[in-house]
Chains A and B, each alone.
Chain A
Amino acid sequence: MMLRWAWKTLIRQRGGLFGSAGGLAGAFILVIFFSAVFRGEATQIVAYLENTRPDIWVMQRGVSNMHMATSFVYDWKADKIARLPGVKRVTPIVYLNTIVHAGDQDAFSFIVGLQEGSSRAGPWALAGGRSQLHSGETVIPEVLSKLSGVGIGDSVTITDRSFKIVGLSEETYSMANSVTFVSMSDLTDILSAFGTYSYLLVDLEEGIDARGFTKTIMDEIEKVNAMTHGDFVRSDFALGMMMGGEIIFMMTVICSGLAVLILGFTSYTQVMRKRRELAIAKAVGIRNLFLYTAVVFHAMVITLLALLLTGIFAIVFFPFISTLVPQVTLVVSIGDLAGMAVVAIIVAAISALIPAYLVSRLDPATVFQV
C-alpha cells in the first residue's frame, strides 16, 4: 500500500521526478565521462599495436610497454630472430614519442619509422594519399589534418625537421597519442640511433605457439624482452588506464557526494510536502518500517531512472561527442556502467537516510495543523 502511495506521489510530480533524476544523472555522467576519457585514450594508445598485430613483440630487456617507453634493439638481433625456425617475418620499427607541429596545432604523437618499401607496420586505413614513404615524407592522422588545416602536399615539423604530407590515416588520432608515420632513415637520423631499432614485430609460421616462442627468443637472443601480442597490448592498456586511475576514483567519490545531496534534497522536499499524508498514515497505525520502505523506494526509483538516463546518454551521445570533438575518444565499458550502478545504489541508500529520519520524527498530530 505504501509503495503504491510512493509511486503515485512520484508520478504526480513528473517534473520533479525527471528534474531530480536529471541532476543525479548529470553527476553520474561526470563519473562515467572521466572513466570514458581515460578508457578512450587507453584504447587509442593501443590502436597502433592492435592494428599491426604481430604474433610477438620484441623490445629491449626491461621494457614492457610502448607508451612513454624507450627501447633500443641492435639490428643484428632482428636478423638473428628472422633466422630462427618458425619465424615467417620480422618487421623492425623505430619509434619516438614527441610533438608534431601541424599548422597552429601541436599534437602528442607516436612517431613510427618504417622501412622504405615495406607496408607492414604502416597505416592500416587511409583517408587519402599513399602509405609508402620515402625520406622527407610523412603520413599524419586525418583528424590532425582537419584540425590544423594542413593536408596532402603541405608540411609538418617533427623536432627540427620538416616533412611533406603524402598520406592521411584514419583511426590514428587521440589527444595523448596520435600516430604519425615517417621513413625509418629519417627517424634514425633524428634519434642518432644508427644500427638499432626500437621494436621488432615478429610474425610466426602457422601453428607455432607464440607464448612458447617468446621464451625461445629470450633464450636465443641476449638482453631482449619478447611478449605475445596480447600481453603487450594488455600491458600498454593497463598503463594508460593507470594514469587516470586515481583521478577517476576521486571524481567518483566527489560526484557520488554530489549525487547524495541532490537525491537527499529531492527526498527531503517530497517528505516535507507530504508530511500531513504521512502523519495520517502514522495516526492510523502504519508502522515506521512501511514508511521507511516508501522513502527508500522513492530514492531507488529516482536513482534507477538516473541510471537509465546515464546509460542512454553514454551509449547514444558519447559516440556523437567524439564526432563533434574529434580530439576526444570516449569508450564506455559495461564494467564502468556496472560499477556506476553499484555506486548509485549506495547513493540511494545514503540519501534515503534523510527522509527516513524525518519520517521517524513526524508527529501524527501534524495532520491537525493548518
Chain B
Amino acid sequence: MFLLAWRQLCLDPARTFLTALALGAVIAVVLTLEGFEQGQYYQLARTVFNRQADLIVTQAGVSNLMAVRSSIPQLSREKVESIAGVVNAHPLAWISLIYEKEGEKTPVFLFVVDTKGGPVHMVRGNGIPKGKEIILNDSLAKKYHLNIGDPFVVFDFEFTVVGISKDSAALFTPFAFVNFDGMIDLFIETDIAPDLTTFPMLSFLLVDLEPGAQREAVAEEIERRVPEVDVFTPGQLAESDMNMGRGFLGPVMGLLVFVGYIIGLLVVGLVMYAEVRSRLRNFGVLKALGFTHVRLIYGIILQALLLLMISIPVGVILGLGTASFIHTFGPVYLIRWYEPTTFLSTILGSGFFAILGALIPLRSIRRADPMLAFQGE
C-alpha cells in the first residue's frame, strides 16, 4: 500500500507540489500563530532576564515586573544593601507613556535605570543613557524614522536619541530607556507630575550578590529584614509574568490555532476528496482485485501522511519566511515557533487533522463499484 500511495503522489508531480505547498502554508500559518503566542511569553520572560540581576526586589504584594505598579520606599535600598551577601541594589522604575509624532501615537514603556537594568542588545549607539539622553527600541526608531542624535519629544520635553536597542519590547509595546536624572528633568520641566512622590521613583531593585552567596537564603533574609518588599529570583518573576501573559493571550491564541487546524483539516479533506473522485475507477479495479474497504482507507490515510511528510519542510521554510517578514515589518513582534514543544505539537496536531481530513472522502470510496473498472470515461 505504501508503494501505491507513493506512486500516486509521483504520478502528477505538479499537483503534488501544489498540494504540498498548500499544506505547507497551513502548517506555516499554525506555526506562526503558535510562535506568535510563544514569542509574547518569551518577550515577557526576556524582559526580566535582561535586567541581569541575581535577585529582583518588588513592593510587597507585587509579583510582576511588567504592567503593574510597584513602589518601594527610597530607604529600602539602603536596607537591602546592608544585608550580608548583597553587593549592590540597583534602582529601576518604569512608566507607560504615549509617544505622538505627526498624529501617530505609540504606547511606550519607559524604563528608568541607574547603574544596571538598561538595554542588553544594542543595534547602534550608546547603551547607557545620561541626562536628557534616551535609548529607543528598534521598532520605535524604525516606525518614526528616528536615529542617533534625533530629538525624541514627550510632553514637550526633548530627549536626544543616543542608542537604538533590539530585543526590548513586550506586550506589543516597545521600550525606551532613560536614567533617573532624565526622568526627574522630564517631571519637573513638564509638570507631568504635580508632585514627584506621585510617581514610583523606585519600583524595583536589581540585586547583585557576592560570588557564592545563596540566592534563596539572601532573598529570605531581605524579606525578613525589609518587610515592605518581596524578593524574587529572575526565574520566578519571569514565570509570573509569563503566567500573566498566558491569562491575557491564551484564550485568543487558542481559538486562532484551532481555526488554523480546521483549515488544515479542510485542505487535507479537499485534497483527498479530489484524489478519490479522480481515481474512482482505480478504486473499482482494486476492489475487483479483492482489496477491502479498510485497506483502501488505509492507503488513503497513508497517502495523506506522506503528503504531510513532504509538506513539513515546505511549512518550515514558509514559516521561516513568515517570521522574517513579520520581524521586518513589525520588529516589536517576535515569532518563536522553533521551540521543540511548539514545533512538535504543531506537527502532531497537523498529523491528527491530516488523518481526519483523509477520512472525509470515506463515502466515495465505499461507493466505488468494481463495475466502474469496466465503464468508459
Contacts and interface: CB of A to CB of B under 8 A. Distances in A.
Nearest to B193: A72
Nearest to A34: B256
B12 interface: yes
B325 A250 contact: yes
Contacts of A160: 59-62
Contacts of A350: none
Contact of A62 (B59, B192, B361): B192
A210 B247 CA distance: 40
Interface stretch (B43-51, B94-102, B294-302): B94-102
A328 B18 contact: no
Nearest to B335: A250
Nearest to B190: A62
**Interface hub of B71, B97, B247 (most chain A Cβ within 10 A):** B247
Contact of A69 (B96, B172, B266, B267): B96
A268 to B, nearest CB: 6
B244 A242 contact: no
A30 B259 contact: yes
Nearest to A28: B263
Interface in B249-270: 249, 251-252, 255-256, 259-260, 262-263, 266-267, 269-270
Interface string B342-367: 00000000000000000011001000
Contacts of A196: 194-195, 198
Contacts of A67: 107
Interface in A154-181: 157, 159-161, 175-176
Contacts of B68: 98-99, 159
Interface in B22-44: 22, 25-26, 28-29, 32, 36
B325 A253 contact: yes
Interface residues of B, number: 79
B62 A193 contact: no
Contact of B260 (A30, A37, A176): A30
Interface in B185-241: 190-195, 197-199
Contacts of A254: 28-29, 32, 322, 325
B15 interface: yes
Given A99-B67, A108-B67, A272-B12, A68 B18 contact: no
A23 B259 CA distance: 10
Interface in A57-75: 60-65, 67-70, 72, 74
Contacts of A29: 259
Contacts of B21: 261, 265
B195 A16 contact: no
A69 B64 contact: no
Nearest to B62: A159
Contacts of B243: 106
A322 to B, nearest CB: 11
A258 B29 contact: yes
A69 B97 contact: yes
B29 A30 contact: yes
Interface stretch (B119-127, B144-152, B326-334): B326-334
A29 B106 CA distance: 27
B26 A190 contact: no
Contacts of B256: 30, 33-34
Contacts of B329: 246, 249-250
Contacts of B32: 254
A68 B98 CA distance: 7
Interface in B119-147: none
A246 B67 contact: no
B191 A223 contact: yes
B274 interface: yes
B97 A269 contact: no
Contacts of B96: 68-70, 97
A268 B195 contact: no
Given A30-B259, A34-B256, A261-B18, A266 B251 contact: no
Contacts of B273: 15-16, 19
A262 interface: yes
A321 interface: yes
B263 A60 contact: no
A105 interface: yes
Given A33-B259, A97-B96, A258-B29, A23 B270 contact: yes
A246 B270 contact: no
Given A26-B259, A62-B190, A258-B26, A327 B251 contact: yes
B248 interface: yes
A159 B69 contact: yes
A328 B71 CA distance: 31
8 contacts: A108-B248, A159-B61, A191-B69, A194-B195, A254-B32, A257-B25, A265-B271, A266-B270
Given A30-B259, A244-B172, A264-B22, 4 more contacts: A26-B266, A191-B198, A250-B330, A354-B18
Interface of A: 13, 15-16, 19-20, 22-23, 26-27, 29-30, 33-34, 37, 60-65, 67-70, 72, 74, 96-99, 105-108, 157, 159-161, 175-176, 190-196, 223, 238-239, 242-244, 246-247, 249-250, 253-255, 257-258, 261-262, 264-266, 268-269, 272-273, 276, 321, 325, 327-328, 354
List the 10 closest pairs (A to B, CB-CB), nearest first. A160-B61, A26-B263, A19-B270, A246-B330, A62-B155, A23-B266, A261-B22, A68-B107, A327-B251, A258-B25
